[in-house]
Structure 1
Amino acid sequence: MNHTNRRKFIKSFSAGVTASMFTPVFAATDLDKQRTSLLELSKFDYKDLDENFWEQVAEQFIFQPNLHYFNNASLGPSPIVVQEATRKFRDTLDAFPSKYMWGAWKDDVEKVRSKVASLFSVSNEEIALIHNTTEGMNLIARSFDLQKDDEIIVANHEHPSGTIPWEVWQETKGIKIVRPELPILPDNTDEVVAVYKNAITSRTKIISICHIVNTNGMMLPIKEISKMAHDKGILVAVDGAQSAGMLSIDLHDLGCDFYAASSHKWLFSPKGVGVLYAKYESQKFLKPLMVARGHNDKSIRRLENYNTRNYPEVLGLGTAIDFYNKIGKQNIDERSKELKSYFRSQIQNDSRFKIKTPASNDLSGAIQVVEVIGKDAKEIKKKLIEQFGIDCRPMTDFNLNALRFSFAIYITKKDIDYLVKALTTIASL
């Protein structure tokens, strides 16, 4: 990136952030003192996406000194511009509570809905603004009036928030939950599709499926599975917690009926905000979890009718999408693949490590899971945070004994170099 473009980048996002020196010991700090005020986003179009560009993106996120954050799959940070915008929304609400809770922000909320819809290439009338993936999966699972012995396919790598709702709302009524086993390292997407195909019977009504599983970062072929399911009259509900924001997604193209996601992971929104997509033709199946005045609304808004809710966070989602679109969803998608490839290239030929995430871009993205041979994952996680300030998540289910690393847009190749150095140091002990 040339000098002029870098200056424009900084001007459009912030006045700049001074990098801190990292040491293994965490120090207490007042994060507000580190913040710099942001200038209004310009319409400058970034073309030169070299590593300098991504280092400038990284500067838009402020972490605790000494922290190297590779745990975005658990919870993502908000960039400075989103934090500041959300604080301003809170100040506005508190200055005139009744005005902004009921009415004054109605059009602004609809603008957020429109931004979400555009991001996923769907209609405004197919997006509900909810709280998180768990709420969306509960709403879907509770809605159906299934009959005893009907079947729902929920594979073994689903997140608890994608399994428990079906167990509580359907299995207790005599509905059968079918739990096929997914391969940890499939050779191709056909192998995954076959797992679901073989699980289908004449009683199958719904397939509930993660887009990207949180266990080992494997991406599941939603488009192919949706087509197969629809050919048999089966509905498809997708847990998109780990894919929304990581990938460039066209939900109409994916073909699923429902898609629930938390925007506070890879979309970097305020916490406790999420989205629910329901294909227009499939909305008739859904019922709200809560009812209040306006429950007779026939639109998808009936599914988000909480009466009083935290609108500053909802509006902060709009700012997060502005930030996201500023960089570009295709650029972010490609960056995810670039960082994945860079990390894998550093360790894949080292016998001390075993990568337990599929390599193909059709089968994985910016979440990679690695076993350090002969070492306990929980012990390594402890050493990484205490000695190197690296936060990640140990994954022990399915005998993974591995560490899960998330490569979000604030991760640079220098960060990955630091991570690999830390891993090789611990592996050598």
Structure 2
Amino acid sequence: MALKLQPGDEALWGTYEYGSMKVAFEQRAAREGIVNKVLDLPITSMSNDEIVAAYKKAITPRTKVILVSHIVYLTGQVLPVREICDMAHERGVEVIVDGAHSFAHLADKIPDLHCDYYGASLHKWMLAPLGTGILYIKKENIEKVWPLFGDGGYASDSIHKFAHIGTYPAYLQLALAEAIRFNQTIGLERKEARLRYIKNYWVDRLIDVPNIVVHTPREAHRSCAISTVGIKGQDPADVTNALYDKYKIFTVPPGYPGAVRICPNIYTIPYELDAFVAAMKELAAA
């Protein structure tokens, strides 16, 4: 994370950001004396306007950058990143968007988000191999950002200066090209619609079941494929273990209180979702 930040400069982000991203800012604080202002917001129960207002209220004259996830990894909630970016830019603050769970998941184009920086891994929703990713930097910002690995072969204002990692495994590029073709064949708008349908398929069948709690907002603009669900009085780890041990259904407890994260993809079929719904109903009735 090579932004030029000085001692006392503030970075603003939420407790719900991904651990590796938080650690990057915490390391800058430990090494260089920047200040991390951390928001602890009940975002699942807040409207988009309330979320934007909370970020606005937290900005001070020392705030230089905001980190915000497009889709929160804990719950699958889609955050209003464009509105946050526009609000921040009015106050001279740059915005980094973590798109790990939104790229090739939502049909939004990166420039339309109005962010300054955007990064994503591609093994999740792009279905590319592990070790592939994307970095977007507004052209006017490239020159002022240092690459983590020095490369004298490119001009300081060239995005290619960030690509130097030593010997690059060609098979990743070849496989990534196939992943791009696969996604383009489907079309991102169709893919997003299918992913939202799959999520709604199981949520609609569990939302009114006694003892079951769906934590992620259900509105179309606030969630897509990912959602979180829990059973009252049961530890998420116990639910996760029971789903796998008894029904061979793999899920994870992401760390959100009372929640198991459900991440079906385009290859998930209704029969599999029916099995999950039946398993959750049985566990909730126990």
TM-score, reference length from structure 2: 0.95
CA contact (8 A) 1:184 1:356 kept: no
- Aligned position for 2:274: 417
| Secondary structure of the structure 1 residue equivalent to 2:127 | coil
Question: Which consecutive unaligned segments of at least 5 residues does structure 1 have?
Answer: 1-140
Q: For 1:316-395, what aligned pairs fall within 5 Å after superposition?
A: 316-395=175-254
Deviation of residue 419 (structure 1)?
0.6
| Secondary structure of the structure 1 residue equivalent to 2:119 | strand
| Secondary structure of the structure 1 residue equivalent to 2:79 | coil
Higher RCO structure (Cα 8 Å, ≥6 apart): 1
* Equivalent residue letter for 2:260: L
TM-score, reference length from structure 1: 0.64
Mapped to 1, the partners of 2:85 and 2:231 lie a distance apart of: 36
Deviation of residue 376 (structure 1)?
1.5
Mapped to 2, the partners of 1:232 and 1:379 lie a distance apart of: 46
| Secondary structure of the structure 2 residue equivalent to 1:185 | helix
Deviation of residue 187 (structure 1)?
4.2
Identity over the aligned pairs, expressed in percent?
A: 34
* Equivalent residue letter for 1:403: V
Deviation of residue 184 (structure 1)?
3.9
| Secondary structure of the structure 2 residue equivalent to 1:360 | coil
CA contact (8 A) 1:181 1:195 kept: no
| Secondary structure of the structure 1 residue equivalent to 2:125 | coil
Mapped to 1, the partners of 2:185 and 2:53 lie a distance apart of: 39
Please give the per-residue CA displacement for 1:387-427, whole angstroms capped at 9, x wherever unaligned: 11111101334xx1211000211112222111101111122
Mapped to 2, the partners of 1:293 and 1:226 lie a distance apart of: 32
CA contact (8 A) 2:207 2:213 kept: yes
Deviates more, 1:295-304 or 1:228-237: 295-304
**Which structure's CA Rg is the greater one?**
1
Mapped to 2, the partners of 1:158 and 1:294 lie a distance apart of: 34
CA contact (8 A) 1:152 1:176 kept: yes
Deviation of residue 226 (structure 1)?
0.4
The answer to whether structure 1 residue 315 and structure 2 residue 158 are counterparts is no
- Aligned position for 1:245: 104
The answer to whether structure 1 residue 401 and structure 2 residue 239 are counterparts is no
Question: Which consecutive unaligned segments of at least 5 residues does structure 2 have?
Answer: none
- Aligned position for 1:195: 54
| Secondary structure of the structure 2 residue equivalent to 1:220 | coil
Mapped to 2, the partners of 1:311 and 1:419 lie a distance apart of: 39
Q: 2:11 aligns with which of 137, 152, 174?
A: 152
Please give the per-residue CA displacement for 1:215-260, whole angstroms capped at 9, x wherever unaligned: 1111111100000011111110011111111100211111001110
Deviation of residue 297 (structure 1)?
6.0
Mapped to 1, the partners of 2:165 and 2:255 lie a distance apart of: 37
Deviation of residue 293 (structure 1)?
5.3
CA contact (8 A) 2:151 2:161 kept: no
- Aligned position for 1:214: 73
Deviation of residue 213 (structure 1)?
1.0
| Shift in alpha-carbon separation, 1:266–1:276, aligned structure 2, 3 A | same
Deviation of residue 385 (structure 1)?
0.9
* Equivalent residue letter for 2:180: I
Mapped to 2, the partners of 1:369 and 1:204 lie a distance apart of: 32
* Equivalent residue letter for 1:157: Y
- Aligned position for 1:175: 34
Give the count of matched residue pairs: 286
* Equivalent residue letter for 1:144: L
Runs of 4+ aligned residues of structure 1 deviating over 3 Å after TM superposition are 295-298
Please give the per-residue CA displacement for 1:277-328, whole angstroms capped at 9, x wherever unaligned: 1111221232111124525464101101123111211221111010111111
Q: CA RMSD for the aligned pairs?
A: 1.5
